[in-house]
Chains A and B, each alone.
Chain A
């Protein structure tokens, strides 16, 4: 009668011990205060008491590493602390809502948020603002007025720059295709719209495909790109397509891989958005004709800086643009372009 009860009990006790042992890794003095990333450097007095949560859309894209680097840079300059926490499942709206709620509960001084959805994040942002936690929006818009400032690239303009360059490259005639990013992503939808506007304005150019989505990952974008190219291949092995536009890094890279595999890379005018080492290499190899670059480092930097200024009671602009630039094989070696092409995030993140 006793034995079957004793053993599970012992195991339970063991579990509790195991859990507590395993989780006692942080230094013992953590009970004194919130254990957060120690990214403080109290050079400037005044901002030191602020703890800001910086919430990206995801954590694995290089773009977000640059935003992280910019946020760290600002935190070091201003002497505040930041907590960098992205949704566990990339591109999952509910996961991001949970993080905003958690940070609000935690009572951070302010939240710098890149909303995954312009509608779904309204309620948690409103709740945060009502509980006295101000929010600065970065990267993508929010259909709400409950934020302090919106710090982002002018995405429509970015798409427009790409469209105008495409029209120029094609001499105003030909067939183009566009691989969209994901359903409901505001920033990329703006870029896509900007591109299509510029192409329409050029008249002679025909859009043969603009309803395919690459999805959240490089893998899904690669598959979507292959499927998009398949019907455009002629029986003689040529591609009946003159230009391609992709609205972000993962779709650009997925498309590049698909073009390389089918040996079409370099034979079709190809403009992408954002950069990574692979994309820079492709541009050097003549497989990419242009990239529209944002300045994510500046976005992270200005996001944190704007929040600190707001917390210090200074007035801030409601809309702050972080700039968008067209880089081509011709100008890519200029120092300004290099800084944008390969943001030095390792310096700030210590990787």
Chain B
């Protein structure tokens, strides 16, 4: 999973390899440093294996959504409707389970399809009406939230207990060998898949090309609109996956859930080396970014620190991570 940044064939091979490794190692080193710090000053329980599992489970939602956001941000776009799409997905899954008595797998797929549909609508408006993604998805944030509340009649929907709830539930002792619950494995597998898609497929290269320079990409014959449409739809599906993970944790369909989640997801991608200007980012980095925020959260929480400390620390880490990234770029181009 070392696909990274804009391809710059003019670099010498060695230098390119070094830089690629550095891009991967930067966020990783940050994660390890922060973890080591909390292990040192936090309560002993922080570094227990049980807590590692807890951190992994708590990262799954932002991690799943960050897969979609990574694709969209490499493309040079952004999607602010993540939180609303996640809420819509939990509502759709709960509705399917409750009112249609759908089998859990079908309900889960239905929820993800709802997410993909929201992404498709965003993509259509962006490509057909030529409105900038920031505005379109800002609107979609409200539209999707409204739809979710309408479906749920402004209440949460209680769903009957189903196998979906074990996706992110703490592992029972007899399944300890799995290390983390199946939902986390699912996110890891999909992360590998998306990383492969970005590195080895034509679509992946097209996404990078459009994010680097859309006009040039158009000139060399890349079907820009089709790629955009596909990316936003894929992104929506991953947000839907995040919604599935949230449903698994909440066990209810909650139209008011995940308000402000978009900021966590964007922060994860940006900490991991993604750029708001497009053309950069990596799946590995984004997952590490999401983990960094979970580790800070878990550490602060277990130390019993006040919420404002936690917000302060997370905010500083985001800015420092991006500032370092800019600094690295400046040295690269010199």
Interface residues of A (CB under 8 A from B): 1, 3-5, 7-9, 11-12, 15-16, 18-20, 23-24, 26, 30-31, 33-37, 59, 83-86, 88-89, 91-94, 97-99, 101-103, 105-107, 117, 119-120, 122-123, 127, 182-184, 213
Contacts and interface: CB of A to CB of B under 8 A. Distances in A.
6 contacts: A4-B332, A23-B37, A59-B307, A93-B250, A101-B58, A119-B251
B179 interface: no
A31 B41 contact: yes
B331 A3 contact: yes
A8 B26 contact: yes
A213 B152 CA distance: 14
Given A11-B324, A20-B33, A119 B156 contact: yes
A298 B51 CA distance: 33
Interface string B163-179: 00100011000000000
Nearest to A1: B15
Contact of B19 (A4, A101, A105, A184): A4
Given A101-B58, A123-B251, A31 B40 contact: yes
A88 B257 contact: no
B29 A16 contact: yes
B218 interface: no
Residue among B18, B43, B57 with the highest chain A CB neighbour number at 10 A: B43
B50 to A, nearest CB: 6
Contact of B54 (A11, A105, A213): A105
A101 B298 CA distance: 9
Given A36-B304, A94-B257, A117-B254, 9 more contacts: A4-B19, A16-B30, A34-B42, A89-B259, A94-B250, A102-B301, A102-B302, A183-B256, A184-B254
B286 to A, nearest CB: 19
B304 A85 contact: yes
Contacts of B311: 88
Interface in B138-157: 149, 152, 154-156
Contacts, number: 159
B201 interface: no
B41 A119 contact: no
Interface in B33-91: 33-34, 37, 40-46, 48, 50-51, 54, 57-58, 61
Nearest to A5: B18
Instruction: Give 6 nearest A-B pairs by CB, closest first.
Output: A34-B43, A83-B304, A184-B156, A102-B301, A120-B250, A105-B51
B241 to A, nearest CB: 15
Interface string B286-314: 00000000000110011110010011000
A182 B165 CA distance: 25
A4 B22 CA distance: 10
B315 to A, nearest CB: 12
Contact of B251 (A84, A91, A122): A122
B215 interface: no
B289 to A, nearest CB: 14
Given A15-B33, A92-B257, A120-B250, A5 B40 contact: no
B331 A7 contact: yes
Nearest to B170: A127
Given A4-B332, A16-B29, A183 B165 contact: no
Contacts of A120: 156, 249-252, 254
Given A105-B51, A183-B154, A19 B37 contact: yes
Given A117-B156, A119-B156, A98 B252 contact: no
A102 B303 CA distance: 10
Contact of A5 (B22, B29, B41, B301): B22
Contacts of B33: 15-16, 19-20
B93 to A, nearest CB: 14
A12 B165 contact: no
Nearest to B57: A101
Nearest to A120: B250
A104 to B, nearest CB: 8
Contacts of A30: 41
A33 B43 CA distance: 7
Contacts of A12: 25-26, 29-30, 324
A86 B44 CA distance: 22
A16 B301 CA distance: 21
B12 to A, nearest CB: 8
Given A5-B22, A182-B256, A106 B249 contact: no
B246 interface: yes
